[in-house]
Structure 1
Amino acid sequence: MGTTLTIFLYAAVASMLTSLSGLSVDFKGSPFLLIFLIAAGLFWTFVSYRRTLPPSGIGLRLLLGFLRFTALMVLIFLIFEPTISWHRELSRKPLLAVIIDDSASMKMKDGAGDRQEQLAALLSDPAWADLEENYDLAYFAAGDSLRPLEKLTLDNLKLNAFGSDLAAAWENAFRRTEHDEPAACVLISDGGDNAGRDPVQSAGEVSKPIYTLGIGDTAHVRDARIEHLLSGEIAYRGKPSQITVRVRAQGMENQPARLELLDPEKKIIASSSIKLPSDELQTESTLEFTPDIVGNLPLEVQLKTSANEWSTENNLRSLLLEVRENRIRALMISENPNYESMFFQKTTTQNPDLDLTALTIRKNGGVYDHNLSDLKKAISESDVLILVGFPGRDSPVSILAQLSQAIEKHPLPIWFWLGPRSSTNNIAKLCGELPFRIQRARNRVEADAVPIRYYAELSPDDESLEAPLWWDLPPLQSLPFSIRATAPLQTLIALKDSETGQDLGPALISWESGGRRFSATLGSGFWRWSFMSQGLMGGNELYAGLITKVLRWLVASPQTRPLRLSIDKKLFSSGEKVYFNARVFAGDARPVTSAEVEMTLRGPEGDAKFLLEPDKYGQYAGVFQPEGVGSYTYSGLARLNGDTLGTDSGGFLVEAYNIEKETVSQNRQLLERIAQVSGGVYLPADSLLELADLINAPPRVQSVGWSRRFFLNWDMLGILIALLGLE
């Protein structure tokens, strides 16, 4: 009995000492001062109660002394704000991040069978129990993004993700569990990687081993595929357009193949013969055709080979071109022949994309070489109007009235070339209120032209090519007045004094108003630019480029629609979701946040309707999952309280090609490289049992405990008052 009691007491004391081993007390200030104050408090208490009047018994004096000393200690400790902490380190099982490839390629079939069935067998392997016994497992599904899984079952996977980003998968998994310090990552994948950064480089940077389990056939297959189509989104009727096709192949080096471009009726409109490249290389060929219709033109490019391939599903790619009318019908009106109008007319007649009609106004109100009735007809048959030095202060009133009436019936975008005698009052009669006013008179000086928003608004792709040409341009001459902006406008080209560098205001501006676009030139001497060729070998002139860029911008649709629908691209792959965005604006251009935006889609599977969800910023969003392959059109209708605010429409194309189909077999080489550079090991899918023995990870150390800081708050103040009161 005595021995048992001794053992029990020993165990209790050992447990208490173990639990107190992490206990610590910290103070603010000097510890020597604390000891001195404690000793002083003890001495003062002893002196105070060594003798009392009237005399008291030893027991009462000891009690009073204890209360006094305790109150002093509480006060001293609170002054030094002690912090009492208890911490203890616990040993836990290592954590593993298990990432499962959730992309559509994991459902494909290859020489080893159905990858989905292989994955199901792997996930139900009893060896997972051994891993769970020795490790804590955090499960994730990865495709184009990463999502956590509660259970490791096939039912929790979608296997439909479009795009595989392996590097982002483990980087995000480590980031999400960084407080638990995962010891390693287990990646289950077929090795398909078609998005994001280089996974091998990323694996070498994470400083944690990645163990890869390969799904799919590892045998080398014979396959050719169209990897990419390069083409602009816009083509012009009657003008040649080119499509560059990039092709890859495996096991088919130097085999003959043929590329064919098909129109919507599956007729061949262009073709090219090629030799297939060796593994890991690519070849490209250009197909040229001339569109003869205006509108959206869906096209297909197919690759035909003579050898048996693993799959021909990746031999067909689609693209959607917007074909526009090639020639811009421009009407130029000038009052007095001058160099600007002469060189403008000469340059545009040499451009096959422009069809210019030039009219010169007589001082008596007529039109040279034309009848006055031709003016209204010319307006109705034009896409854009150019007014060079017209209207001026002395322009015929009859011409202005007829021109204003014609524009009112047939609104046109207008390019004003202002001259010394231009009248802003008369100009306003043709386009409404101007966004600027003439500010003051000044002397005309020579000035250098400096592009400001010229390329950003008109042609961003040409900036790097044409930038050096602006250094050697002949100078312009400023107008005898300056302007002050009174409404939003864009300065495309600015003027700088050639000698002093002083800012002389804009030389070319643009603005939008009433659903139309306008531009104004505020200087003279642009015609001299026609002598400067573009590039060392000659070619298109910078002056001709200026005219074409401004005219094409003017005839494009201005962004003043009450409802604006947009999608991020016009070509989607089978299985890819289409994300719609919309904005609704009131008449004063303020966003509308309480409208209802209804979408109607028409495609191969029929019609579909859904609503876009709004947010408080006037933006609306929604997603559509196409079920078929082919052309789709969409239209949107914005309503508020039963009233229609605006409509918008567009189209897109869904092709049968899916990037996941490029993973025709397991990319074992990539999975092995990922494991090698990270310090892990590659294993086949049926070797899960070996994984537990290969992973050598130390246990996690978790710190637990608590900390309390004492200072003069209400509870401590209450204890101090209670002690003094008892005394």
Structure 2
Amino acid sequence: MLQIFSVGIHFDKHPVFLAALLILVWLFTVWVYRHTVPPVASWKRTVLKVLRILALAVVILLLWKPVLSVFVEESDIPILAVLIDDSASMGLVTGDSIRSDDVRAIFESPVWLDVESRFDVRYYAFADSVWVVSGGARDSLAFAYTGTDISGAWQRVPLFTVGIGDSTPAKDAMIVQTITNDIVYAGDVVPLDVRVRGVGIRGEGSVLRLSGPDGENLGTQSIRWKDNFTEETLSFSFTPAEAGTWKYQVSLDPLSDELTASNNRKSFYIKVLESKVSVLVLAGSPSFDLEFLTKSLHENPRITYTLRTQKVQGGYYEGSFPPAGDLDDFDLIILHHYPSSATSMGDLQAVSGAAKRNDCPVLFLMGSEVSLRKLDVITDVIPVRTMRYSGQTVEVSCVGASSHVIFEDDDGQPWIQWDGLPPLWTKPNIFVQKDGSQVIAAGYLQTVGDAFPAIVLRKAGWLKTMAVVPWGLWRWGFQLSQEHSGTLDAFLDRSIRYLVTREEDKLLRITTSKPIYQGGETVRLSAQVYSEGYEPVDGAEVEVLVTAGDETVRLVLDGEGNGRYSGDLSAWTEGEYNYEGTAKRGGMLGEDRGKFTVEAFNIEFLNTAMNPLLLRTVAAQSGGSFCTPETFPELAEYLQFPSRARSVSWEVPIWNRAWLLWIFVGLLSLEWLIRKRSGML
């Protein structure tokens, strides 16, 4: 409702002077028009007097700067915010009714219709966050989301809470947690611990089952629930036979009259790798640096290695050089300060042949005792070539030169801290990168600012090669500070993973934030796009098609810079989802595919009883009150709030309006026209 209290005009000078001046203008005009030449009719003199007085009055008003002032009072009906729990637990059955139906029944009752007539009612839904129910469309509530964040909905105003459901825990068995290894090797025995909970089912029994990727039964465990609230941990073991990413599921057989079976199943993924990576290490000589390398390989559960260390007089300390047949069985060859002057040409030709014949990746670690002349024999399987020979050894600091998966953790975030790493050694200007190589780290001499290739990668077909030009990597393994501890182990591990895993070399990689989502959770897809030179690509169109059942949804990911893209998806059903993505910029850059699962299990189902103590506490602390559906009419009567009144005032300057100038000009023009037509001077 709108009420205008007052409207007035104010001047920046005292209005008494304005009135006096207007009187003088009137007297002056009357005196001027007492006689005219030639004489005109009295009515015409009166019209001319009025026009002159009005014109001069306009000028005077402009000089006094009049301002129009308006004072208004607005009266609004009170606003009532209604916060509705839209989480999955509201869809459960309590007694003879569904909780969500109880909520709708309240909103359809005459009591609530009366409340809506007295208030400006605004509806909000909340689960793990709060959002507006658009247009008050309560029918759009899904009652399927995860979480119940009351604190996020509480904005320090009086809260009147309505408890829906039974405060007595209902009969229910559930799987709370699964604990196992995320990455295992084919043929290894994998342990699995499953934590289960039973509520209100004392004395009854249940069966827990473990199912494999194809639904095959991998084991069962029987449970006897001892009390009305029981938690137990049951153990399984299984042996994956094939490499890949596989989904497993544990499930509890449903009980009669159980509250819900949605929390009786829980899935998990494990990544099964081929048998451990087999590495051949050829060392030019025993050294402190070699000790750190073999220690890191020995402690890496993904790796088994064979070591051959060159003797000065020829041959190897650990035994003979592997024959050609055995060379073909290795997944990676590491040349550590190798070849030396004692290395035979036959051994070098065997290394080069095995790398090219089997696309076996090669990691070359330069050292002071490397024979550059013999290194030229195998230059076709390393990403650098000798430019000149030098006997000078200097210190060098390494700095990342480009983004690469070697320097990123499993979440795609940079892990290496270049600042503070101790310097290594090198012989400057002895190597240059080959065409098609990528420098991912540069070296800077301590005395000269010029950069040179420090860590270089190259991919020719399926053959990957890598060279670390500086030596003394043991210094990176001697770090005690938290930000640098484990640098050497992580660098070697991720370098080996990159070299032996073709999947990580894809130009487009699309992943989800996790493999399994609960019902109602938002699925986040992320992508990384690289060029053929493995440089991040911005400005690409990354499109993902997500399919579940008979429905397919198209999602275009948004660019985030540095070759990264992301997008969110709302899952529409439970089960397994498959996605296929492409990246284009002009032409096709890459393709990728994957899968994720949306399961019925929801954290909301771990505690399904209505919590009257919490609701009473929230209401009391905010100045409101608590009720149930049965006592809701009493609460509606309590909702009595006065209308809100607020005053508004504003000022509108008049003196600077253009239309006043046009009135002044119009009045003078009309006066001049009458005088002219009357022949007056």
Give the TM-score, by structure 1 length: 0.68
1:46-77 deviations in Å (ceiling 9; x for gaps) = 68546438835784674255134323134325
Residue 605 (structure 2) pairs with residue 661 (structure 1): yes
Instruction: For 1:16-31, list aligned pairs within 5 A.
Output: 21-25=5-9, 31=12
Letter paired with 1:410: N
Alpha-carbon distance in 2 for matches of 1:87, 1:391? 94
2:630 is aligned with 1:683? no
8 A Cα contact 1:466 1:534, kept in partner: no
**Which residue number in structure 1 is paired with residue 82 of structure 2?**
98
Query: Which residue identity does 2:68 align to in structure 1?
Result: I
Classify 1:579/1:310 alpha carbon distance in 2 versus 1 (closer, same or farther; 3 Å): same
Matches within 5 A, 1:574-593: 578=523, 580=525, 590=537
Deviations 1:312-356 (A, max 9, x none): 653443211112235221122345555534663476457664222
Distance 1:399 1:262, change over 3 A: same
The one-letter amino acid of 2:218's match is K
8 Å CA contact 1:491–1:509 kept in 2: the answer is yes
CA contact (8 A) 2:221 2:234 kept: no
User: In structure 1, what is the Cα distance between the partners aligned to 2:198 and 2:225?
Assistant: 12
Indicate which of 457, 460, 475 corresponds to 2:407: 457
Q: Aligned-pair distance for 1:126?
A: 1.0
Structure 1 residues 43 and 305, CA, compared in 2 at 3 Å: closer, same or farther? closer
1:695 counterpart (636, 639, 646) = 639
- Which residue is equivalent to 1:180? none
Structure 2's unaligned 5+ residue stretches are 37-41, 672-681
The reply to whether residue 566 of structure 1 matches residue 511 of structure 2 is yes
What residue identity is the alignment partner of 2:89? S
1:133 alignment counterpart: 117
Contact 1:237 / 1:290 at 8 angstroms: preserved in 2?
no
2:293 paired with 1:344: yes
Tell me which of 583, 587, 595 is aligned to 1:651: 595
Distance change (3 Å), C-alpha of 1:715 and 1:53: closer
1:416 match: 364
Question: Counterparts of 1:439 and 1:137 in 2: how far apart (Å)?
Answer: 82
Look up the match of 1:176. none
Partner of 1:407: 355
Aligned equivalents of 1:622, 1:721: Cα separation in 2: 65
1:424-473 deviation per Cα after TM superposition (whole angstroms, max 9, x unaligned): 98887325579xx9999896467899999999936689x9x999xx99x9
CA shift at 1:682, angstroms?
Answer: 1.0
Q: How far has the Cα of 1:563 moved from its partner? A: 4.0
The one-letter amino acid of 1:677's match is: Q
More moved, 646-655 vs 304-313: 304-313
Give identity over the alignment, percent. 24
In the aligned structure 2, how far is the partner of 1:667 from the partner of 1:439?
78
Q: Which amino acid aligns with 2:618?
A: I
Q: Distance in 2 between matches of 1:581 and 1:346?
A: 35
CA RMSD of aligned residues (A): 5.7
Could you tell me whether the CA contact under 8 Å between 1:594 and 1:614 is conserved in 2?
A: yes
Q: Which amino acid aligns with 2:407?
A: E
1:558–1:697 CA distance, 2 compared to 1 (3 A): same
2:578 is aligned, of 607, 613, 634, to 634
Partner of 2:163: 214
What displacement does 1:212 show? 1.4
Runs of at least 5 residues in structure 1 that lack an aligned partner in the other structure: 1-17, 171-202, 602-606
CA 586–241 in structure 1, closer or farther in 2 if over 3 Å, else same: same
Q: Is the 8 A contact 1:489 1:509 kept in 2?
A: yes
Residue correspondence of structure 1 range 359-378 to structure 2 within 5 A: 374=324, 377=325
Report if the CA contact (8 A) 2:337-2:367 is conserved. yes
Task: Indicate how the Cα distance of structure 1 residues 708 and 396 shifts in structure 2: closer, same or farther if over 3 A, else same.
Answer: farther
Q: 1:324 matched to which residue of 2?
A: 273
Partner SS state of residue 167, structure 2? coil
Report the Cα distance in structure 2 between the residues aligned to 1:39 and 1:225, rounded to whole angstroms: 90
CA change 1:54–1:666 in 2 (3 A) is: closer
Q: Give the aligned partner of residue 199 of structure 1.
A: none
SS of 2:630's partner is coil
Pick closer, same or farther for the CA change 1:556–1:147 going to 2, 3 Å: farther
CA contact 2:354–2:360 (8 Å) conserved in 1: no
Residues 169, 608 of structure 2: 8 Å contact kept: no
Whether the 8 Å contact between 2:77 and 2:643 is mirrored in structure 1 is: yes
Q: Quick check: 1:274–1:285 contact (8 Å CA) kept in 2?
A: no
Distance change in 2, residues 1:22/1:371 (3 Å): same
Residue 32 (structure 2) aligns with: 52
- Structure 1 residue 93: deviation in Å? 1.7
Query: Which deviations, in whole Å up to 9, do the C-alpha atoms of 1:361-398 show, x marking residues without a partner?
Result: 89999999657962xx5554332231223468999888
- Alpha-carbon distance, 1:94 to partner: 0.9
Structure-2 residue corresponding to 1:69: 56
SS at match of 1:75: helix
Letter in 1 for 2:219: I
Alignment of 1:488-527 (within 5 A): 489-491=439-441, 509=455, 520-527=467-474
Could you tell me which of 258, 267, 270 is aligned with 2:218?
267
Match of 2:131 among 119, 126, 146: 146
Query: What is the distance in 1 between the residues matched to 2:586 and 2:455?
Result: 40
CA contact (8 A) 2:544 2:579 kept: no
Aligned 8 A contact 2:382 2:466 in 1: no
| 2:428 aligned residue | 481
**Aligned partner of residue 160 in structure 2, secondary structure:** strand
The alpha-carbon deviation at position 100 of structure 1 amounts to 2.6
In 1, Cα distance between equivalents of 2:466 and 2:10: 75
1:21 partner SS: strand
Change (3 A) 1:664 1:349: closer
Hey, what's the Cα distance between the residues in 2 that align with 1:23 and 1:121? 50
Match for 2:330 among 358, 362, 382?
382
- Following superposition of structure 1 onto structure 2, how do residues 586-605 of structure 1 map, counting pairs within 5 Å? 590=537, 598=545
The corresponding residue for 1:296 is 245
Q: With structure 2 as the length reference, what TM-score do the two structures score? A: 0.72
Match of 2:95 in 1: 111
Deviation sequence 1:586-611 (CA, Å, 0-9, x none): 7576467568755566xxxxx64635
| Residue of structure 2 in register with 1:89 after alignment | 73
Shift of the alpha carbon at 1:149? 4.6
Aligned-pair CA distance for 1:140: 3.4
- Residues 438/223 of structure 1: CA separation in 2 closer, same or farther (3 Å cut): farther
2:333/2:360 contact within 8 Å kept: yes
C-alpha change, 1:394 and 1:704, in structure 2 (3 Å) is farther
In 2, the alpha carbon distance for the partners of 1:21 and 1:541 equals 76
Match of 2:500 among 548, 552, 555: 555
Over 3 Å counting, the alpha-carbon distance change for 1:37 and 1:551 in structure 2 is farther
Q: Could you tell me how far apart the structure 2 residues matched to 1:708 and 1:439 are?
A: 84
Question: Which residue does the alignment assign to 2:381?
Answer: 430
Partner of 1:181: none
Q: 1-side partners of 2:652 and 2:106: how far apart?
A: 50
Report the alpha carbon displacement of residue 89 of structure 1 after superposing the two structures with TM: 1.5
Give the structure 1 partner of residue 554 of structure 2.
612
* TM-aligned CA deviation for residue 518 of structure 1: 5.8
Q: Which amino acid aligns with 2:332?
A: V
Distance between the aligned counterparts of 2:46 and 2:479, measured in 1? 114
Cα 1:60–1:652 shift into 2, 3 Å: closer
> Residue 331 of structure 1 contacts residue 356 of structure 1 at CA under 8 Å; is this kept in 2?
yes
